[in-house]
């Protein structure tokens, strides 16, 4: 069967790595293509297993792909005709494996997305798919639809897909408590992956917010110790709530990240979502924060350690990093954070 996952912009490489790491050895996986915010692949295993992917925002079963969509309205007729001829026995079996209950007369809804110049509208695309499936005996439902059909045309590619994931796939059940501007779990997981987790890690997030980064590290696997801290008591309360009694040993502190009460060279990994300018709102204050935090992070990190830091203030960050000659950037990724361009930096000792 043909599947696709949707990921946040900038995480495509990490998503492909996760797919390969998790499923390549099973012999069930063949990655076909990596596109902006989408990975297309064949998978012969149980699709329920794919729902555990931690980089994915959505999981789709691809019913039809047209890699050479034209601007003409005739391409709509081609999509409609392909759905009219399609057999759905295997599709329904796949849906049931993924936990979606389907019957002979299927209630469905269509979501359409369109980019690029076309001789048809997004609504035209939606109506064509709705009519083709209705003629197959499915019925259109405004609510409680069993199947969520997505019709998408981006550039030269057209996709008709069934959404197998719930709307909250990108979120996590542990997110019981939230704070403003909390980091998306898929981004937190990707940052943790870039830190190259090891079972002996002493792992630090000195500005832990609601604890998302720390929890993503905990779910990846064994570690020696988790340490989190924040200047906000509200954030620490959210972290404690989201952790509950699980994931020991760990310790949380109310502190200022510019003066960490930790011994030098005692931390293996530091992963942190640095405050952005919009959060602080004051460039001199932000400069002071970055300068002192980088100094403290360099002090507590062991010589073979690694930092992964996220910020939209790349000019400021690079300027302050240059002042610390002992540190160097070994990798950086440009990602989308709430519609804002930001960068993940992997930093090590020179």
The pLDDT of residue 149 is above 60: yes
The pLDDT of residue 24 is above 90: no
CATH number assigned to the domain covering 2-163: 3.30.2130.30
pLDDT band at 229 (very low <50, low <70, confident <90, very high): very high
Intervals of CATH 3.30.2130.30 along the chain: 2-163
pLDDT band at 22 (very low <50, low <70, confident <90, very high): very high
For residues 220-249, give the mean pLDDT. 96
pLDDT digits (tens, 9 = 90+) for 176-219: 888 988 899 999 999 999 999 999 999 999 999 999 999 999 99
For the segment(s) 185-349, the CATH number from 3.40.50.150, 3.40.630.30, 3.40.50.720, 3.90.180.10 is 3.40.50.150
pLDDT digits (tens, 9 = 90+) for 124-140: 999 999 999 998 889 99
Intervals of CATH 3.40.50.150 along the chain: 185-349
For residues 268-280, give the mean pLDDT. 81
Q: Which two tokens stand for residue 147?
A: 């199947």
CA dist., res. 310 & res. 261, Å (int): 23
CA dist., res. 347 & res. 282, Å (int): 25
Q: Which residues pair with 332 in a beta bridge?
A: 345
Number of H helices, E strands in the chain: 10, 15
Angle at 174 between CA 173 and CA 180, to 5 degrees: 105
Q: Which two tokens stand for residue 334?
A: 């440009």
CA dist., res. 78 & res. 66, Å (int): 9
Beta strands in 155-300 (DSSP E): 157-163, 202-205, 225-230, 250-254, 267-273
pTM of this structure: 0.92
């Amino acid at each position: 069967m043909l599947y696709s996952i949707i990921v946040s912009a900038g995480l495509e490489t990490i998503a492909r790595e996760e797919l390969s790491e998790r499923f390549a050895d099973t012999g069930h996986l063949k990655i076909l293509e990596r596109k902006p915010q989408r990975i297309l692949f064949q998978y012969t295993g149980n699709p329920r297993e794919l729902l555990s992917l931690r980089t994915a925002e959505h999981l789709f079963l691809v019913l039809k792909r047209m890699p050479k969509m034209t601007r003409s309205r005739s391409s709509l007729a081609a999509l409609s005709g392909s759905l009219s001829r399609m057999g759905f026995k295997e599709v329904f079996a796949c849906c049931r494996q993924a936990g979606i209950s389907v019957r002979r007369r299927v209630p469905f809804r269509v979501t359409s997305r369109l980019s690029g110049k076309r001789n048809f509208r997004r609504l035209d695309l939606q109506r064509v798919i709705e009519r083709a499936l209705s003629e197959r005996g499915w019925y259109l439902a405004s609510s409680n639809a069993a199947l969520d059909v997505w019709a998408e045309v981006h550039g030269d590619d057209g996709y008709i897909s069934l959404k197998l994931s719930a709307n909250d796939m990108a979120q996590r059940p542990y997110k019981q408590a939230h704070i403003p501007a909390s980091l998306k779990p898929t981004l937190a997981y990707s940052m943790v992956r870039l830190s190259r987790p090891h079972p002996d890690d002493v792992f630090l997030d000195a500005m832990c917010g609601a604890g998302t980064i720390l929890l993503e590290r905990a779910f990846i696997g064994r570690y020696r110790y988790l340490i989190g801290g924040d200047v906000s008591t509200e954030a620490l309360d959210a972290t404690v709530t989201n952790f509950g009694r699980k994931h020991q040993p760990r310790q949380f502190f109310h502190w200022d990240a510019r003066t960490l009460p930790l011994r030098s060279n005692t931390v293996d990994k530091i992963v942190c979502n640095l405050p952005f300018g919009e959060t602080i709102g004051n460039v001199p204050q932000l400069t002071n924060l970055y300068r002192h935090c980088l100094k403290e992070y360099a002090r507590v990190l062991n010589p073979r350690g690694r930092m992964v830091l996220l910020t939209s203030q790349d000019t400021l960050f690079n300027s302050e990093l240059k002042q610390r000659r002992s540190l160097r950037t070994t990798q950086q990724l440009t990602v989308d954070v709430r519609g804002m361009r930001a960068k993940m930096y992997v930093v090590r000792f020179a």
